[in-house]
Homo-oligomer: A and B are copies of this chain.
Amino acid sequence: MQISSRFTVAVHIFACIAAFEKDYKLTSDFLAGSVNVNPVVIRRILQQLKAANLITVSRGGGGASIVKPLNEITLFDVYNAVECVENGKLFHFHENPNPKCPVGRNIHNALDDKLHRIQQAMENEMCKITIFDIVKDTQAYIEQENK
């Protein structure tokens, strides 16, 4: 199964805030319009990003804003914030290998470190990419349109 679209939606939200914070109030309705999902979906993700100390959301008044420099927020931070995988484990290991079978009771030992290495490789790459990179490239594509 794929990694939940919450992740790409969250990145989209950051890109929107960065692009429009000077000109608009970034309400869940506004963001929902750009992402094209229900505002409640946006609010739920905003809550997760807020819990991870990546953004603030103004109750009552409305609007979200980013609390750190864009180049200090990595895709891994966002990925973690929106909890795309259970317990941080990318792979779902079959639950009950047979302990009476020599292979069954040792497959976890033999495989776990390798699965972990694979996951690490992915997460390392996520750490290398920041929201700033996304915002910069998005702007570049937008400017390219205006030529």
Contact = CB atoms under 8 A, between A and B. Distances in A.
A50 interface: no
Contact of A102 (B3, B7, B19, B84): B19
A94 interface: yes
A97 B3 contact: no
A36 B94 contact: yes
Given A4-B92, A85-B2, A15 B107 contact: yes
Binding site of A, secondary structure by majority: helix, strand, loop or mixed? Answer: helix
Interface in A113-147: 114-115, 117-122, 124-126, 129, 133-134, 137-138, 140-142, 145
How many protomers of this protein does the assembly include? 2
B92 A8 contact: yes
Given A1-B85, A7-B91, A102-B142, 17 more contacts: A2-B90, A3-B90, A5-B93, A8-B93, A8-B107, A9-B94, A12-B107, A16-B103, A36-B104, A75-B118, A102-B145, A109-B137, A114-B129, A114-B133, A118-B125, A118-B126, A120-B125
Interface of A: 1-5, 7-9, 11-12, 15-16, 19-20, 33-37, 75, 84-86, 89-98, 101-104, 106-107, 109-111, 114-115, 117-122, 124-126, 129, 133-134, 137-138, 140-142, 145
